Amino acid sequence: MSRYLKPVLLFAMMLLATRAEAVDRPNILFLICDDLNCDLGSYGHPQVRTPNIDRLASRGVLFENAHCQYPLCGPSRASFMTGMYPDQTLVKRNAVYIREHIPNVLTIPQAFRAEDYFAVRIGKVFHYNVPRHIGTSGHDDPYSWNYTFNPRGRDKEEENKIFSLVPGSFGGTLSWLAAEGEDDEQTDGIAATEALNQFKTLAGKGRPFFMTVGLYRPHTPFVAPKKYFEMYPLEEIQVPQIPSGYLSQLPQPAISSIRRKKDQVDLEDSLARQAIQAYYASISFADAQLGRILDGLKEAGLEKNTIIVFTSDHGYHMGEHGHWQKTTLFENATRVPLVISGPGVLDKGGVAKGLAELVDIYPTMADLAQVKAPAQVSGVSLRPVVEDTKLIVRSSALTQYNNGYSIRTNRYRYTEWGVEGSLGAELYDHETDPEELINLIDDPNLQDLQMEMRIQLQSRVANSGKVPSRIKQIQDVPRRSVPQPNP
């Protein structure tokens, strides 16, 4: 062989090896529902039908005790998409672009793009006003993606048909519609169709992808085709009840958090049943779209080399504690579904009972894909747990809302309101009170436990407020006064 030809062949072999390595790198499919609690079949709910989430859990790891860091869409999404706590992102309300507060942050897709992944966003990932921003980019971060798609469906076009407790108000108010038409006419159905199109396109590229599909349901308004409503007869709906005098044991900030929606306090039974029915219908509709996406991934030949992460931005009350929707520091609002499957994950299914936080998603994805996570990331990798569900990587999960902080351990929840609990505290024992209806904070027999929990909470709060490495923070961002037409 010519001495001139040998270097050429060697270079060609190295190039082919590099391309083969790129192809072998796992894809990431990040599936996010909006305002979804753990009312799912795989989480033991006796009524809600979610066969597609259930089958994903059956071949991956389901985290039974995962919690968000802020029970509100914008702050939670800014948190898990950066791997940072809300006191680090400084995003604690909606309608904020993350780079207003942290201009040089590296989001999850950016970290993967640095490793030559093709990053796709379909639907809602960062904050959107729902339904106002459906079909637009909302408060998206354009620096995170190579390609974006903003679905807009029949649910957006037919807002005038939606029932609301406050006429004309949908996003923050209980509202619903049993819609005419088919799944693929709805915004989330269109998102699922686009995901299938992208799978077909990306399958032949030989380049790994990071795809995030953010569904709008079951966020209000609860819109789904009629067939999903028919799955849940009103007479079979159970409306949660609270004990007489329940509010008297709570600190005032906790009471304010569950009574702030005046139009949703003490709903009459018939309205409560309709709201729950509509929420369940929206969950089953979202599950059906997730099923289409999972099927499309397999049909494109991508399933075996794709890490799938499924979650929600926070939990949701459906009448528990007399409250509807989110923004509390109770289990209903903090706990989220979290399922991980794919390369490097148990393939026969497993349940992890240890604690997890949404900030852990970033380092877990990076660890499983062997992508370098930036120093800003405060979460911990769950890779040890997805390899062995008996392992524990956290002793507590931290959530904050307004002027309160709460930690969840395997057995207890401890919450303080105000500076170091100056506005009151709560303590719940999940072994005897899983619904968190009995505040034990004044129990004289639990003083040592309270002190232990208090020390643990305040340590977590202090650490979650440390400025991350190399991150620039802008504390004071003026609120914008921009007209908000309905597009």
Mean pLDDT per 10-residue segment, the chain (487 residues): 42 39 80 98 98 97 98 98 98 96 98 98 97 96 98 97 95 96 98 98 94 98 98 97 95 97 92 98 98 98 97 98 97 98 88 98 98 97 97 98 98 97 98 98 97 98 96 90 70
Look at residue 22 and give its three-state secondary structure.
Answer: helix
Pairing of strands 61-67, 335-336: antiparallel
Q: Alpha-carbon distance 145 to 278, whole Å?
A: 33
Q: Alpha-carbon distance 226 to 176, whole Å?
A: 11
Q: Alpha-carbon distance 126 to 97, whole Å?
A: 8
- CA angle 184/185/190 to nearest 5° reads 55
Q: In order of start, what are the domains of the chain with their CATH numbers?
A: 25-395 (3.40.720.10)
- CA angle 377/379/385 to nearest 5° reads 135
- DSSP class of residue 175 equals E
pTM for the structure as a whole: 0.94
Q: Alpha-carbon distance 449 to 201, whole Å?
A: 56
**Tokens coding 377:** 């990331």
Other beta carbons within 10 Å of 147 = 14
Q: Alpha-carbon distance 112 to 106, whole Å?
A: 10
Q: Alpha-carbon distance 411 to 317, whole Å?
A: 21
Of 219, 236, 242, 243, the C-alpha closest to 274 is: 236
Pairing of strands 338-341, 147-149: unpaired
Other beta carbons within 10 Å of 451 = 10
CB 254 within 8 A of CB 402: no
